[in-house]
Amino acid sequence: MNRGFSNALFLKAVVVASLCLVSFCASAQEKSSGQEKKAQFSTPGYTHREPSKPLPDGGPTPRLADGHPDFSGVWFKGLLGKEDATLVGSFGVLDPNQREFDPKVTPEEKPSFQPWAAAKLKEQQANLVADTRDPSSFDKLPREQRLAALDLEILKLSRNCMPHGVPGIVLNADRPFQFVSTPGLFVQLDEHNHDYRVVMIDARAHSKEPDPKFNGESVAHWDGDTLVIDTVAIDERVWNGEQWQFHSDQEHVIERITRPSLNYLIYQVTIEDPKVLTKPWTSAPRRYSLGHEDLLEWYCGINGHDDEELQALKQQRDRLQAQK
Amino acid sequence: MKTRLTNPLVIGAFVSAFVFMLSPCAIAQQAKEQGSAPPYAASGKAASKALPDGGPAPRLPDGHPDFSGIWFVGALGKEDALLVQSAATAGDPALKPFDPKVTPEERPSFQPWAAEKVKQLGRGPARGELSKMTKAQQLTAVNTEIGRLERECVPHGVPGITLTGAMHGMELVETPGVFVQLTELNHDYRVVSIDGRAHSKDPDPKFNGESVAHWEGDTMVIDTIGLDDRTWNDAGAWIHSDQQHVVERFSRPSRNYLIYQVTVEDPKVLTKPWVSAPHKYSLSVSSEPLNEWYCGINPDGDEEVRALKETKKRLEEDISKELSH
């Protein structure tokens, strides 16, 4: 329990902390602490810190009885083999060694959306910036925009327990995950939302017409020391990312996982979606490092407070709708 | 996806069924239905056949039994969609975790205060009972059901993850030193390290507690404390205290069978430790994975709770009107 948070309460704390970060008082506070010179990073709690040190490679890749790489272990984003509690919820202001990739070394293109999809995303982003919690600015917005912003906020909140699906279960895993490999089987356990998926590596082919599932239908094979997971039939409610909030029933995801050494895991994903993208998108190779602590328990949907917040927003929307 | 049902829709269906039961027209209808036989007897099925033992238990490279596989309650290696929800209490004996005639299982022996509370929180009235109730009794039943529905996404914890959580199948994955249990119901999991570590001095409570594990011959023994007292040990509202201590014993006597036995000590709630019968699970006969059954993603679930709360309000108003007359 080094990371020391326990389940739902922690979630609440992070939410409160992040709200505080975006609020006026917090931004004022940040400015004043930012005036202290020689800060390594612009994040609270990061002044006067020693630069972090990436893990060594740790020796050769462990292998299973069948000779294939064994991915078993608890994996953290970046190169440190752990998470830094002071940084949780700080909106991507990360120690560079906690990033999954360095865009200067391995740049990652943005997904190339079809015009209709790009327009839809742009609209969503515009609504996202409207702060429903700040009446002084929110009430000045045109009614239609306020409604759209409330709808989006409601959607986001009511999605708290929505599974991340594939590839979100990796790309959007804000917290560490655990892999368990046995010959013929690959299991991913996520701390975030206490989610899991199981993939069989047994050369089975895709079904002719698989039912949609959050984690889709996955088949897997080894390409040398790389595990290749091929997934179709992904439930359309899944978001690939905060900036990529929809995909079609035609989405096809190909994930490639390797473990070049004991301490490191590399994950790369390609997404094809002919109804939404103009061309396939391939991620940068993302780096994860081996930790030595157990996953925490982080269950979703057991905290009544979230529900109350949701109800309050719905009432706000209904009142607005009733106004002429 | 041939045999079983898909995720949150199922929950929705059960919930709707309950709400329907409570409506006045349903109460009238139920009165008529009471004479009909339970679905299993009516299906005209031939008796089911238990799986053979299937040969010796597979072993890990370290020599210990390998529990990996998808397991179903009983001896058939599958779940029967016709029997979902009724398997535990009625229906095919081959779908029961144990035969009470061969290995009887005592009920937990609750302290008086706990027995009262368990009764209060426990199962709502049986089908058809509601129509015979007074308004005040109906109100109690509705309250119980609201409480149960609001618990739907609360993890089952230990030993609930097996006693309740495995009702639609569980997958076990084992590597030397690590034991993983995944359940279809609520898409839950737990991870136990089998590495000889001892319990912490003062572990934080967790839904799955703090587990340590070791081998006793071919039996894996999991010892768990630090259990969050919001969990119920079984579907019948078996509440527990922060003093609960759970010892689970897993063995795989042959390829097709898994035996699970659990002892629960809880000096604040029970008058003596409870020891389960050896519960039987059988290896899936299909190569299908577990279904996806996520909890808490269906806003309809919430709406059902709200609908029940409205029923509750109506009953309360009726009762206060009757009292004022």
* pLDDT value, residue B218: 98
Judge whether residue A29 has pLDDT over 60: no
Rounded average pLDDT over B127-142: 77
A287: number of Cβ within 10 Å: 22
Give the closest of B6, B206, B296 to A6, CB-based: B206
Rounded average pLDDT over B219-225: 98
* pLDDT value, residue A49: 54
Tell which wins on pLDDT, A92 or A183. A183
A215 vs B289: CB contact, 8 Å cut-off? no
∠ Cα B216 A181 B203 (to 5°): 55
Tens of pLDDT, residue by residue over B152-184, are: 788 999 999 999 999 899 999 999 999 999 999
A contacts of B175 (beta carbons < 8 Å): 72, 180-182
Give the closest of B203, B207, B299 to A299, CB-based: B207
Tell me the angle at which helices B135-150 and B7-22 cross, rounded to the nearest 10 degrees.
170
Beta bridge partners of B107: none
A194 vs B150: CB contact, 8 Å cut-off? no
Distance between CA atoms of residues A28 and B8, nearest Å: 45
Residues recorded for chain B: 325
**Cβ distance B119 to B150 under 8 Å?**
no
B182 vs A196: CB contact, 8 Å cut-off? yes
Which ranges in chain A belong to alpha helices (H)? 7-22, 24-34, 115-129, 135-138, 143-158, 165-171, 304-322
Contacts (Cβ under 8 Å, ≥6 apart) of B130: B21, B22, B27, B30, B138, B141
Contact of B199 with chain A, judged by CB distance below 8 Å, is answered with: no
Which ranges in chain B belong to alpha helices (H)? 7-22, 24-33, 39-42, 112-121, 135-150, 157-163, 299-324
Mutate to test the interface with A, among B146, B175, B184, B231 (most CBs of A within 10 A): B175
Smallest CA-to-CA distance from B172 within B67, B272, B270 is with B67
Smallest CA-to-CA distance from A33 within A20, A48, A23 is with A48
Distance between CA atoms of residues B236 and B124, nearest Å: 10
Contact of B61 with chain A, judged by CB distance below 8 Å, is answered with: yes
Tens of pLDDT, residue by residue over B306-319, are: 777 787 888 888 88
**Amino acid identity of B245?**
H
Q: How sure is the predictor about A94, in pLDDT bands with cuts at 50, 70 and 90?
A: low
Contact of A307 with chain B, judged by CB distance below 8 Å, is answered with: yes
Tens of pLDDT, residue by residue over B57-116, are: 999 999 999 999 999 999 999 986 555 444 444 567 788 899 899 999 999 999 999 999
Q: Could you tell me where the beta strands, DSSP code E, fall in chain A?
A: 73-77, 177-182, 185-190, 196-200, 217-223, 226-232, 252-261, 264-272, 281-282, 286-291
Give the distance from residue A30's alpha carbon to the nearest chain B alpha carbon, in angstroms. 33
Smallest CA-to-CA distance from A295 within A193, A195, A191, A194 is with A191
B289 vs A198: CB contact, 8 Å cut-off? yes
Rounded average pLDDT over B222-229: 97
A6 vs B204: CB contact, 8 Å cut-off? yes
Using CA atoms, how far residue B220 sits from B56, B181, B217, B263, in Å, is 17, 13, 8, 14
Mutate to test the interface with A, among B146, B180, B228, B309 (most CBs of A within 10 A): B180
* pLDDT value, residue B296: 73
B171 vs A198: CB contact, 8 Å cut-off? yes
Judge whether residue A19 has pLDDT over 70: no
Smallest CA-to-CA distance from B55 within B251, B240, B256 is with B256
Smallest CA-to-CA distance from A283 within A124, A111, A83, A166 is with A111
Give the closest of B150, B175, B208 to A297, CB-based: B208
Mutate to test the interface with A, among B191, B288, B309 (most CBs of A within 10 A): B191
* pLDDT value, residue B124: 64
Judge whether residue A21 has pLDDT over 60: no
Distance between CA atoms of residues B212 and B191, nearest Å: 10
Contact of A162 with chain B, judged by CB distance below 8 Å, is answered with: yes
A194 vs B188: CB contact, 8 Å cut-off? yes
Contact of B155 with chain A, judged by CB distance below 8 Å, is answered with: yes
Q: Calculate the average pLDDT of chain B.
A: 81
Give the distance from residue B304's alpha carbon to the nearest chain A alpha carbon, in angstroms. 14
Contacts (Cβ under 8 Å, ≥6 apart) of B22: B130, B138, B142, B308, B311
* DSSP letter for each residue of B58-101: PB-TTSSB---EEEEESSSSS--GGGTTTTTTSS-GGGSSS-TT
* pLDDT value, residue B5: 38
- Helix, strand, coil abundance in chain A, percent, nearest 5: 30, 20, 50
Size of interface A-B (CB pairs under 8 A): 84
DSSP state of B201: S
Contact of A183 with chain B, judged by CB distance below 8 Å, is answered with: no
* pLDDT value, residue A138: 78
Distance between CA atoms of residues B131 and B318, nearest Å: 16
Q: How sure is the predictor about B11, in pLDDT bands with cuts at 50, 70 and 90?
A: very low
Distance between CA atoms of residues A6 and A299, nearest Å: 10
A65 vs B61: CB contact, 8 Å cut-off? yes
* pLDDT value, residue A50: 61
**Cβ distance B77 to B48 under 8 Å?**
no
Peptide bond into B159 cis (omega under 30): yes
**Cβ distance A294 to A312 under 8 Å?**
no
Contact of A303 with chain B, judged by CB distance below 8 Å, is answered with: no
**Cβ distance A187 to A72 under 8 Å?**
no
B187 vs A299: CB contact, 8 Å cut-off? no
* pLDDT value, residue B150: 76
B295 vs A161: CB contact, 8 Å cut-off? yes
Distance between CA atoms of residues A172 and A158, nearest Å: 17
Give the distance from residue A299's alpha carbon to the nearest chain B alpha carbon, in angstroms. 8
Peptide bond into A167 cis (omega under 30): yes
Question: Which ipTM value was assigned to this complex?
Answer: 0.80
Judge whether residue A11 has pLDDT over 60: no
Q: Which residue of B has its CA nearest to A304?
A: B150
Q: How sure is the predictor about A15, in pLDDT bands with cuts at 50, 70 and 90?
A: very low
Give contacts of B 207-246 with A, CB under 8 A: 207-208
B188 vs A307: CB contact, 8 Å cut-off? no
Judge whether residue B320 has pLDDT over 80: yes
Contact of B97 with chain A, judged by CB distance below 8 Å, is answered with: no
A302 vs B173: CB contact, 8 Å cut-off? no
Q: What percent of chain B has pLDDT over 90?
A: 52
Q: What percent of chain B has pLDDT over 70?
A: 78
**Cβ distance A241 to A171 under 8 Å?**
yes
